[in-house]
Structure 1
Amino acid sequence: MNEEFIGALKEIVKEKGICEDLLFTTIEDAMVAAYKKNYANLNTSAQNVKISINRESGEIHVYAQKVVVDEVYDEVTEISLEEAKELNPKNEVDDIVDLEVTPKNFGRVAAQLAKQVVTQRIKEAERNIIYDEYKQQEFDIITGTILRKDKGMVFVTLGKLEGIIGPNEQMSNEEYKFNEKLKLYIVEVKNTSKGAQIHVSRTHPGLVKRLFELEVPEIFNGVVEIKSISREAGSRSKIAVYSNDEEVDPMGACVGPKGVRVQNIVNELRNEKIDIIKWSKDPGEFISNALSPAKVLSAEVDENTKSARIVVDDNQLSLAIGKEGQNVRLAAKLTNWKIDIKSKSQKEALDAEEERLLNNEDLVIDEEVVTDLSEIESQSEEIEE
């Protein structure tokens, strides 16, 4: 190797962001392996060597390493103290002495090997740089362009890499046409032997959260918080929001002027319905809000079992439950509470039945008391006779 080669190496280090020390150390280690392979038969000391590269001139030196001993038993790995003193008077027993054994034609072999190692390192460094770049975007939103479909998978280009939308991450109401642009949620970034592998989603609740952060400045700035999200992708989502500023209406901020903010999100999600719910510390109030658009008459909550009994007007029951139970199901996911819904007439009927059963129990008790009294009176009459 020469100075021009070293200069080229350093330029690569600068451009690709590769650690210079790591690159040179890797080249030296590779040269050690090459030396042992090619010169083991010519040099008995080939199995115990080190190689040093001058990082300015590019000169390569191969050294056989030997231990200084009083008496030599193995000439391959040991050198006598007397010989070591001749090389350097400061050498002592147990020191390691480097004896240069650089072959005449080793420079050519080394240069070819260095080229291979550098090429490999550049590829590894580029893969790591790209992986780190996308790893920082994990659990964030990214724009992708549809490339192709294959065996249930949808492949998208994300700039430098391809992403994969798995079957469970695809919305049922989307066709995924070639060259179509979509907002995607990065679920996972893996570092594999072939480079970074990115899994993205259109169904993850995190996609809804990130879209609101993009559209609503109050959420992005932290004035309005997203407390929880429940989603059935492609159909309906519920999002619970809370304002840290009393003067800011969290629901109004999310809806935006003339509903433009939430409409942009609905359009991106292919007309998926979005219910914006006001979060509350009070479980009963929060659960009542979560059942929107239904109006709740009363809510009884049990903190121990995390369950709630909800009463609505008769004409609100189907609305509270939703088509195929969707509304109450999403409300339960949003609040993380079990929800039992009854109509007003159902509740009144249950209450009446409970009252009837209680009255019957009281009647049974009274009859038992009368019977007992009758028996006592009869026994008293017998005693008097």
Structure 2
Amino acid sequence: MSSELLDALTVLEKEKGISKDILLEAIEAALISAYKRNFNQAQNVRVDLNEQTGAMKVFARKEIVENVEDPRLEVSLDEARRISPHYEVEDVIELEVTPKDFGRIAAQTAKQVVTQRVREAERGVIFNEFIDREEDIMTGIVQRKDPRFVYVNLGKVEAMLAPSEQMPNEAYPTHERLKVFLTKVEKTTKGPQIYVSRTHPGLLKRLFELEVPEIYEGIVEIKSVSREAGERSKIAVHAEEADIDPVGSCVGQRGQRVQAIVDELKGEKIDIVRWSEDPVVYVANSLSPSSVLKVIVNEEERATTVIVPDYQLSLAIGKRGQNARLAAKLTGWKIDIKSETDARDAGLLTDDEPLLTETLSDEQQSSSFGGEPID
């Protein structure tokens, strides 16, 4: 082994962050294995590397015995005392057994070990970088597709977008740039494997954090998100300061902020609702874009009965029950929707009580974006 290799180890230590001592230990272990493999030796050996000169020696460690049964592992007391008269039975002696042509094998082995360790270190750096970005958003470029995954290039690594994480209204052509949500980072023998999603509710949350400075700065808080990717989503927002309009902050001037998110999600409809600790107000807001006349709350079962105008019943329920389903996911309350006529027949609504649409202020209402409502 030459001093040039030792100089290279020093450079690697600085550039890749791999300890030189760790590399030397790995090289020594690999040289021991190479010695036994190439010279058909089974004895216990030790490799000594001189860090200054790069000189290398192989020493066989043998036990001193009276009668030698295996010369690869044992040496007689008489032979040992020719080296030093102080040796006794059961002592361990080291004898140099460096082969003449071992230098070539040593150089090749050292190169293989260094290459492998550099590759492992680079994989470790990538893993550590991406493990810190789990549940975060990144921009990637569609690289290729196969029947199992769409592969998205994130710069240093390809992430895998599984069919279950793909939006039904997207085709993912090669070279398309898109934002993805990192769901899981795994360490494998082939390097880090990164899984991403376009359907995760976290993607919608991160997109709002990117587009709405008030959310990023913590002035406006996202309380809950419910999503059926590619079709419709609902997001509940809240601001502690009374003079801050959380819904308006998310909408932006002329709807520019939320429209950027709708465009990124290929036209997915988004309802932005104001969160409230009052379940009556919160459930009413969550059923946007429909109007609500009354909300009856059952605290024990965490269930609500919502009464809506007859002409808005289908709007409140939504296509295939989607609007009601998303509202229930958003609020965490069961929601049973009844028409005004059915509610009056059942005695749930009377003429002399105020309607919720009359008591809710404009700022407690919600906003819908992304096209015509699904009804």
User: What is the TM-score of this pair, normalised by structure 2?
Assistant: 0.83
In the TM superposition, residue 105 of structure 1 has moved relative to its aligned partner by: 2.8
- 1:196-215 maps to which residues of 2 (within 5 A)? 196-215=192-211
Aligned residues of 1:13 and 1:20 also touching (Cα < 8 A): yes
AA aligned opposite 1:320: A
1:62-98 CA-to-partner distances (Å, cap 9, x unmatched) read 22224578x6776634776995897597x89877554
Distance 1:19 1:158 in 2: 28
Corresponding residue for 1:345? 341
1:123-165 CA-to-partner distances (Å, cap 9, x unmatched) read 2222222232222222211112223333263232221222222
Task: Say whether residues 1:315 and 2:316 are aligned partners.
Answer: no
Q: 2:122 aligns with which of 126, 129, 154?
A: 126
Q: 1:173 aligns with which of 169, 174, 180?
A: 169
Aligned residues of 2:151 and 2:158 also touching (Cα < 8 A): yes
AA aligned opposite 1:130: I
Task: Say whether residues 1:107 and 2:84 are aligned partners.
Answer: no
Q: Name the structure where helix makes up a greater proportion of residues.
A: 1
Aligned residues of 1:23 and 1:118 also touching (Cα < 8 A): yes
Aligned residues of 2:77 and 2:88 also touching (Cα < 8 A): no
Corresponding residue for 2:371? none
Task: Say whether residues 1:186 and 2:182 are aligned partners.
Answer: yes
Distance 2:130 2:81 in 1: 55
What are structure 2's unaligned runs of at least 5 residues?
Answer: 349-375
SS of 2:171 mapped into structure 1:
coil
Aligned residues of 1:81 and 1:92 also touching (Cα < 8 A): no
AA aligned opposite 1:302: N
User: What is the TM-score of this pair, normalised by structure 1?
Assistant: 0.81
Corresponding residue for 2:10? 10
SS of 1:11 mapped into structure 2:
helix
Number of equivalenced pairs: 346
SS of 1:351 mapped into structure 2:
coil
- Computed over aligned residues only, the root mean square deviation of the Cα atoms, in angstroms, reads 2.7
Distance 1:303 1:7 in 2: 73
Corresponding residue for 2:43? 47
Distance change in 2, residues 1:345/1:114 (3 Å): same
Aligned residues of 2:43 and 2:61 also touching (Cα < 8 A): no
1:34-89 CA-to-partner distances (Å, cap 9, x unmatched) read 12223345xxxx511111212222111222224578x6776634776995897597
SS of 2:37 mapped into structure 1:
helix
Corresponding residue for 2:372? none
* Overall identity of the aligned pairs, in %: 53
Task: Say whether residues 1:230 and 2:233 are aligned partners.
Answer: no
In the TM superposition, residue 342 of structure 1 has moved relative to its aligned partner by: 1.0
Aligned residues of 1:48 and 1:77 also touching (Cα < 8 A): no
Task: Say whether residues 1:263 and 2:256 are aligned partners.
Answer: no
What are structure 1's unaligned runs of at least 5 residues?
Answer: 353-385
